[in-house]
Amino acid sequence: IQTTPSTIKYGTVETYAAIVAAEAAKASVPVCLHLDHGSSFELAMQAMHAGYTSVMIDGSKLDFEDNIKETKRVADVAAALNIPCEAEADTNTDPQEAKEFVERTGVTSLAVAIGTAHGFYVGTPVLDKERLSEIREVVDIPLVLHGASGLSDEDVSDCVKRGICKVNFATEL
């Protein structure tokens, strides 16, 4: 289960953490509460303090160096708390930059940009699957595909074969 900065406008990280914890106690499978597209170090800290078991920091709108600095701050705290930390490198992931980004930040998973978009697609998305394969060759942590709503089952399956370990669907739900 995940929340985003826009979800939190309608509640607090503490409220969502309490709801999920109550429902997770009844579940027969492990339940994770993830902050998706965390917009700041402060929000990521609030989420981890409230009991989130996974966080994402999205500095993809920052320049490369600032994204690394902000992401590393979150990843360092998350590592100390044994919480996975996902990040997004940029809006068109370069394989060598992705490698450097992962090495310098210490994140545990990386959302890659290969032609997907959040929300509903206006036309048919064109995925750069070769880019995904190139990223997989040089990055050794789990890769994440955001914006999977509206992709064909075949595209999702092919991306998984090429190294995607987590697929995010939201709009379609």
HEC string of 25-86 equals CCCCCCCCCEEEEECCHHHHHHHHHHCCCEEEEECCCCCHHHHHHHHHHHHHHHHHCCCCEE
Q: Which of 151, 145, 141 is nearest to 111 (CA)?
A: 145
If pLDDT is split at 50, 70 and 90, which confidence band does 159 have?
very high
| pTM for the whole structure | 0.93
Q: By three-state DSSP, how is residue 107 classified?
A: coil
Residues with active-site annotation: 36
Q: pLDDT of 73-104, one tens digit each?
A: 999 999 999 999 999 988 789 999 999 999 99
Q: pLDDT of 108-150, one tens digit each?
A: 999 999 988 777 666 677 899 999 999 999 999 999 999 888 8
pLDDT above 70 (res 171):
no
